[in-house]
Each structure stands twice: as structure tokens, then as C-alpha cells.
């Protein structure tokens, strides 16, 4: 399932990035816990009233050769119109309507997309009068907000989520494993797609057609149905914004969210670079099954230590992906490419693992008996009850006497105990801690 996309549009200096930061603010604290995920200001996950969505700040995109302002703004609007489900048009209440506002508004108006008009910099009640002239843009009631003072944001988001499309599952059945690939340019994504689909015994059905983000290829391997979600081949449809690097990352991230299992590609020839960490961090955060695929293994001079050294590097750089299996392949020579799909199938199975409640509680009980939770100012955490509330990824809720007493390291200990008892290779686990009411 892919989350709705919300784009923030408007001319420079109206306060787009300020609002962007306000909207994702809470979320960022979580993201930053994942090492290696340097935040991409362009694109972030956000949430309002339990609804998750993606937020794009179109102001954060550089269109290298197009720094003529008006053109720049047009590209931003075009991107938003193509990609977003809801658009927030930001204007500046202190300046009134400008020609550029009008230009963007015209484009957005023609698109028939849902538009929420945010009049920013309404920092106090006196300024509310400045809002009225914006009715003339034709987008209904303007929302008065102040990015600086964080006011009006909630009302604005209420309006935004009203326009979210109803969730529709994709056309594939529950037993179909959705796979996507992610990795920096030239790591070999297209080559690996071809190698996977070109394998003997892989039966490719008709290409299901092109979604807005990706080309889906359904196929069957050893009686298991898969669909490969491929964004690599879609990079350039000729539009200016599509050639921007950040844009293709964004597209890949959305494909990843529709997937059960993500192959995170690393280039063996070049080793791990900064960008890989970001990509891997996203994969971890999305909660999908993850397999780390080291490609171009043919191009590396090897001795008996090379592979272990590479594994150690990966484990060191991607500590949070400790659960992800690593495979070494060559898309070029097809070496070990045949090991990928069996692994994918295995990881998909673990990703939807269910643990029966009594077994889970026995396990937690035993773990807390062997190593009791540490005390905190004389008080000790007590876990009354555990239950699994979701799969994909396995998600557990622990009911405790006081959530404040649960420490990260103890939670990690419990996670390790779960992983020792159950095969959960390749899948993250989520543990939520709730106060027993
Ligand atoms: P962007 O270019 O549209 O992304 O705009 P920025 O978010 O960078 O903001 C442009 C300027 O407006 C900055 O100096 C901000 O501090 C300021 N600004 C943003 N929001 C507000 C607001 O609500 N009130 C006031 N007074 N200034 C704001
Ligand atoms: P993408 O940008 O991630 O889709 O990467 P491509 O599949 O287009 O590959 C980028 C380059 O790497 C091309 O020149 C490929 O021929 C080369 N390449 C891809 N896989 C391998 C491999 O396993 N070994 C070697 N030696 N080269 C590869």
C-alpha cells in the first residue's frame, strides 16, 4: 500500500520549508534515530491523526539548468500536479497576491487536483484581515497559518487529509510477493531486473501495465507468484524534473512501500558510499523485508577474506539492518542470481510471521525472569501482557506498568530474545509499549 502524497508549492520565501518542518517535525525525531539517514528536506513521511502520508517540498528541488524563477516555479507546480494527491499552495499573507502566485494558482486550478490554500505569516489576530483577498484565487476558504508560530497547522492538515483518496489495495492477491530494488544510480538495478527475469524457470506473465510510479512485472518462480516493481527503467520520460536525482529516489521509495521485500543494492566494485547508507536507512524505516544484495561481485579481485571483510563492512555501516541477509551476486555473469528469489520468498514469509499469544507471553515471561528489567529510581518495569497486533512487519504490543520505565536497551534485549526463538531473518520487528489501563 502506498501512502498518499502531499506537495507543498509556492513561490520562494512564502514559508514552504518552515511549514514543511512543522508538519514533519515530530516525525523527524524518529527518523534521526536511524543512523545514516541524513534527512532529505525534499521528501519526508508525515502523519496527521493517524494518517500517514508523504510530504514533498517542491522548493527543495534544484532544477539545475532552470534557474529562471518563473520557469522554476512552473516545474515545481508541474511536479506537484503529476505526483501529488493533494497540493498545499502556500502564499504570503504579508505581501498579498503577487503575479507569481497568480501564475502558480492558474496552473493548479487547471489541474483539478484538490488544493488547500495556506496563507502563511498570519502571526497574530490583527493579521487575519490579510487573508480575505486570497479568496480571489478561487480555492475556497484560505487557511490562515503561521509557520513561525506553529498556528493553524492542525486545521490546515484536517483539510488536507479530507481529500485523501480512499485506500485501494493493488490488483495482486495477498499471496503474491511484491519485490522492488533500490540503490544508487549505476549500482546495477536494471541489470539485475533483467537477470532475475531472464533466469530459467522464471515465467513472466504479461507486464501488468505501467502505474504512475513504476513498471510492474508479474512472474512465477517455483510455484510462487511474484511481482517485480521496477522504477529504474522509468527514469526519463522527458520531463525536466524527472531527470533530477532526488526525484528518482522519491519514486523508488514509493515503489519500496508497495513491496513486501526490498533488495538494497550495493556496488561491490565501489564499496559502501554515503548514499547507500541513506538508501538502506529508508528501507529499514519503511518496515519492509530487506535483503542486501552486493552486485558486481565479478568485478572484484578476491581472496578467501574478501567476502568476510565485505560482510563486516556492511554490518558495521548498517547496524540497524542486522536482520537483513546479505547475498553476493553478479548481474552481469548471473553468478548466484538464482539464490535471490528463494531468499525473497523466505524473507516474505518471515515478514508475515504470526506468533500465537500464549507462546509470545511464555517467551516474554521467560526473558524477564532470566534477565529482569533494570530498576529506575527504585521502580521496576513490569510487563503484564504481550500480543502481536500486526504482520508485515511483525508488530508487538507490550502492556506495562509504566512506559517510561522501558529502556531502549531492554527493548533491544527482548527483540533479540524474540529473534532467537523465531525465524525472522530479513524482517524488522516493531515493539510498541503501552500503559496497562
Ligand atoms: P520558502 O522559500 O518558501 O521555503 O520559505 P522559508 O520557509 O525559507 O521562509 C522564508 C522566510 O519567511 C524565512 O525568513 C522565514 O523565517 C520566514 N517565515 C516563514 N514562516 C513565517 C511565518 O509564519 N511568519 C513570519 N513572520 N515569517 C515566516
Ligand atoms: P542502474 O542505474 O542501477 O539501473 O544500473 P545499470 O543496471 O544500468 O548498470 C550500471 C552499469 O553497471 C552498467 O554499465 C552495467 O553494465 C554495469 N553492471 C551492472 N551489473 C554489473 C555486474 O554484476 N558486474 C559488472 N562488472 N558490471 C555490472
Whether 61 has a binding-site annotation, put simply, is yes
pLDDT band at residue 55 under the 50/70/90 scheme: confident
Q: Which helix (H) or strand (E) holds 155?
A: helix 153-162
Q: What is the pLDDT of residue 37?
A: 41
Do 184 and 157 fall into the same domain? Answer: no
Do 191 and 67 fall into the same domain? Answer: no
Ligand 1 mutation target, pool 11, 13, 57, most atoms within 8 A of CB: 13
Residues 6+ apart with CB under 8 A from 377: none
330 lines ligand 1 (CB under 6 A): no
Q: Give me 147's grid cell.
A: 509557520
pLDDT > 90 in the chain, percent: 57
Do 134 and 55 fall into the same domain? Answer: yes
Do 188 and 313 fall into the same domain? Answer: yes
Q: Which helix (H) or strand (E) holds 191?
A: helix 189-198
Q: How many A from CA of 288 to the centre of ligand 1?
A: 36
74 lines ligand 2 (CB under 6 A): no
Q: What is the DSSP letter of 373?
A: P
Beta bridge partners of 343: none
Do 348 and 390 fall into the same domain? Answer: no
Cβ–Cβ contacts within 10 Å for residue 1, how many? 10
Whether 111 has a binding-site annotation, put simply, is no
- In terms of average pLDDT, the best of 16-30, 32-46, 231-245, 302-316 is 302-316
190 lines ligand 2 (CB under 6 A): yes
CATH code where residue 397 lies: 3.30.300.20
187 lines ligand 2 (CB under 6 A): yes
pLDDT average, residue stretch 294-305? 95
Confirm whether 170 is domain-assigned: no
Q: How many A from CA of 257 to the centre of ligand 2?
A: 24
pLDDT over 50 at 380, yes or no? yes
Query: Which atom number of ligand 2 is nearest to the Cα of residue 299?
Result: 26
Ligand 2 mutation target, pool 252, 255, 331, 340, most atoms within 8 A of CB: 331
Q: Which of 130, 163, 196 is the last residue of a domain?
A: 163
Of 299, 292, 377, 370, the C-alpha closest to 333 is 299
Q: What are phi and psi of 219, to 5 degrees?
A: -155, 170
pLDDT average, residue stretch 301-319? 94
pLDDT band at residue 369 under the 50/70/90 scheme: very high
Choice between 298 and 36, residue whose per-residue pLDDT is larger: 298
Of 349, 365, 353, 352, the C-alpha closest to 398 is 365
Do 250 and 148 fall into the same domain? Answer: no
Whether 122 has a binding-site annotation, put simply, is yes
Residues 6+ apart with CB under 8 A from 369: none
- In terms of average pLDDT, the best of 35-49, 279-293, 329-343 is 329-343
Residues 6+ apart with CB under 8 A from 429: 323, 393, 394, 395, 396, 415, 418, 419
Whether 120 has a binding-site annotation, put simply, is yes
Q: How many A from CA of 147 to the centre of ligand 1?
A: 7
Do 293 and 392 fall into the same domain? Answer: no
Specify the number of domains making up the chain: 3
| Dist. CA 45–CA 403, nearest whole Å | 25
Confirm whether 156 is domain-assigned: yes
At 54 the three-state DSSP class reads strand
CA terminus-to-terminus distance, the chain: 32
pLDDT band at residue 230 under the 50/70/90 scheme: confident
Strand intervals (E) in 211-251 = 215-221, 224-230
Region for 178 from its dihedrals, namely left if φ exceeds 0, alpha if ψ lies in -120 to 50, beta otherwise: beta
| Dist. CA 216–CA 236, nearest whole Å | 17
120 lines ligand 2 (CB under 6 A): no
Do 156 and 198 fall into the same domain? Answer: no
Q: Which of 332, 352, 372 is the last residue of a domain?
A: 352
Q: How far, in whole angstroms, is CA 97 from its chain's centroid?
A: 35
Do 145 and 237 fall into the same domain? Answer: no
Of 224, 230, 258, the C-alpha closest to 2 is 258
Question: Considering every ligand atom, which ligand is closest to the CA of 263?
Answer: 2
Do 228 and 116 fall into the same domain? Answer: no
Query: Which atom number of ligand 1 is nearest to the Cα of residue 90?
Result: 3
Whether 189 has a binding-site annotation, put simply, is yes
pLDDT in tens, 391-436: 999 999 999 999 999 998 999 999 999 999 998 999 999 999 999 8
pLDDT over 50 at 33, yes or no? no
Q: What is the pLDDT of residue 122?
A: 96
Do 17 and 143 fall into the same domain? Answer: yes
Confirm whether 300 is domain-assigned: yes
Query: Which atom number of ligand 2 is nearest to the Cα of residue 295?
Result: 23
Residue with cell 517542491: 58
Confirm whether 159 is domain-assigned: yes
Q: Give me 231's grid cell.
A: 522504477
Whether 230 has a binding-site annotation, put simply, is yes
Beta bridge partners of 169: none
Please state, in angstroms and as integers, the Cα–Cα distance from residue 203 to each residue in 207, 211, 396, following that order. Answer: 12, 21, 37
pLDDT in tens, 113-130: 999 999 999 999 888 889
Query: Which atom number of ligand 1 is nearest to the Cα of residue 19?
Result: 7
Confirm whether 169 is domain-assigned: no
Q: What is the DSSP letter of 184?
A: S
| Dist. CA 423–CA 247, nearest whole Å | 36
The three-state (H, E, C) secondary structure of 378-389, written as one string: CEECCEEEEEEE
Q: Assess whether the previous peptide bond of 393 is cis (omega < 30° from 0).
A: yes
Choice between 270 and 41, residue whose per-residue pLDDT is larger: 270
pLDDT band at residue 357 under the 50/70/90 scheme: very high
36 lines ligand 1 (CB under 6 A): no
| Dist. CA 301–CA 306, nearest whole Å | 8
22 lines ligand 1 (CB under 6 A): no
pLDDT average, residue stretch 29-56? 64
Confirm whether 54 is domain-assigned: yes
Q: How far, in whole angstroms, is CA 19 from its chain's centroid?
A: 20
Q: What are phi and psi of 60, to 5 degrees?
A: -85, -5
Q: What is the pLDDT of residue 68?
A: 65
Do 9 and 89 fall into the same domain? Answer: yes
Whether 427 has a binding-site annotation, put simply, is no
Please state, in angstroms and as integers, the Cα–Cα distance from residue 344 to each residue in 106, 112, 285, 433, following that order. Answer: 47, 41, 19, 30
Query: Which atom number of ligand 1 is nearest to the Cα of residue 145?
Result: 23
The three-state (H, E, C) secondary structure of 264-296, written as one string: EEEECCCCCCHHHHHHHHHHHHHCCEEEEEEEC
248 lines ligand 2 (CB under 6 A): no
Choice between 51 and 179, residue whose per-residue pLDDT is larger: 179
pLDDT average, residue stretch 33-55? 67
- Residue span of the structural domain in which 195 resides: 177-352
pLDDT in tens, 59-105: 766 555 545 667 777 777 888 888 889 999 999 999 999 988 998 89
**CB of 113 within 8 A of CB of 160?**
no
pLDDT over 60 at 1, yes or no? no
DSSP percent split of the chain into helix, strand, coil, nearest 5 = 40, 25, 35
Confirm whether 171 is domain-assigned: no
pLDDT band at residue 251 under the 50/70/90 scheme: confident
CATH code where residue 30 lies: 3.40.50.300
> What is the rounded average pLDDT for all residues in the chain?
86
Q: What is the pLDDT of residue 35?
A: 42
Query: Which atom number of ligand 1 is nearest to the Cα of residue 57?
Result: 4
Q: Which of 110, 141, 163 is the last residue of a domain?
A: 163
Please state, in angstroms and as integers, the Cα–Cα distance from residue 411 to each residue in 381, 386, 390, 406, following that order. Answer: 11, 13, 18, 7
Confirm whether 321 is domain-assigned: yes
Cβ–Cβ contacts within 10 Å for residue 274, how many? 11
Amino acid at each position: 500500500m502506498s501512502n498518499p502524497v502531499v506537495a507543498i508549492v509556492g513561490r520562494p520565501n512564502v514559508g514552504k520549508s518552515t511549514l514543511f518542518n512543522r508538519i514533519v517535525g515530530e516525525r523527524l525525531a524518529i527518523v534521526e534515530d536511524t543512523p545514516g539517514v541524513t534527512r532529505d528536506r525534499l521528501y519526508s513521511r508525515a502523519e496527521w491523526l493517524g494518517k500517514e502520508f508523504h510530504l514533498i517540498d517542491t522548493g527543495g528541488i534544484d532544477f539545475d539548468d532552470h534557474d529562471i524563477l518563473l520557469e522554476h516555479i512552473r516545474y515545481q507546480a508541474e511536479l506537484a500536479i503529476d505526483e501529488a494527491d493533494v497540493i498545499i499552495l502556500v502564499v504570503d499573507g504579508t505581501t498579498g497576491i503577487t503575479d507569481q502566485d497568480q501564475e502558480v494558482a492558474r496552473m493548479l486550478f487547471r489541474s483539478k487536483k484538490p488544493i488547500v490554500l495556506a496563507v502563511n505569516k498570519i502571526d497574530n489576530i490583527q493579521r487575519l484581515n490579510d487573508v480575505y483577498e486570497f479568496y480571489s484565487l478561487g480555492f475556497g476558504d484560505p487557511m490562515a497559518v503561521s509557520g513561525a508560530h506553529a498556528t493553524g497547522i492542525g486545521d490546515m492538515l484536517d483539510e488536507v487529509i479530507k481529500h485523501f483518496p480512499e485506500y485501494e489495495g493493488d490488483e495482486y492477491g495477498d499471496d503474491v510477493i511484491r519485490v522492488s530494488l533500490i540503490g544508487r544510480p549505476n549500482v546495477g538495478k536494471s541489470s539485475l531486473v533483467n537477470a532475475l527475469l531472464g533466469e530459467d524457470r522464471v515465467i513472466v506473465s504479461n507486464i501488468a501495465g505501467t502505474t504512475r510510479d513504476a513498471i510492474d512485472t508479474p512472474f512465477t518462480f517455483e510455484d510462487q507468484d511474484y511481482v517485480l516493481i521496477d522504477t529504474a527503467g522509468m527514469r526519463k520520460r522527458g520531463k525536466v524534473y524527472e531527470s533530477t536525482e532526488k526525484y528518482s529516489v522519491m519514486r523508488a521509495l514509493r515503489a519500496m512501500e508497495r513491496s513486501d521485500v526490498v533488495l538494497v543494492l550495493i556496488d561491490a566494485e565501489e564499496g559502501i558510499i554515503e548514499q547507500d547508507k541513506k538508501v538502506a536507512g529508508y528501507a529499514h524505516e519503511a518496515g519492509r523485508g530487506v535483503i542486501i544484495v552486493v552486485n558486481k561481485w565479478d568485478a572484484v579481485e578476491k581472496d578467501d577474506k574478501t567476502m568476510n571483510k565485505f560482510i563486516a563492512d556492511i554490518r558495521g555501516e548498517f547496524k540497524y539492518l542486522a536482520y537483513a541477509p546479505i547475498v553476493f551476486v553478479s548481474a552481469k555473469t548471473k553468478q548466484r542470481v538464482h539464490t535471490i528469489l528463494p531468499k525473497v520468498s523466505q524473507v516474505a514469509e518471515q515478514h508475515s510471521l504470526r506468533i500465537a499469544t500464549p507462546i509470545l507471553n511464555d517467551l516474554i515471561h521467560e526473558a524477564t525472569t532470566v534477565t529482569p528489567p533494570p530498576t529506575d529510581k527504585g521502580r521496576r518495569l513490569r510487563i503484564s501482557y504481550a500480543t502481536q497486533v500486526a504482520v508485515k512487519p511483525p508488530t508487538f504490543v507490550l502492556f506495562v506498568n509504566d512506559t517510561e520505565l522501558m529502556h531502549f536497551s531492554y527493548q533491544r534485549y527482548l527483540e533479540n530474545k524474540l529473534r532467537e526463538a523465531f525465524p525472522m531473518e530479513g524482517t524488522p520487528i516493531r515493539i510498541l509499549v503501552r500503559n496497562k489501563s
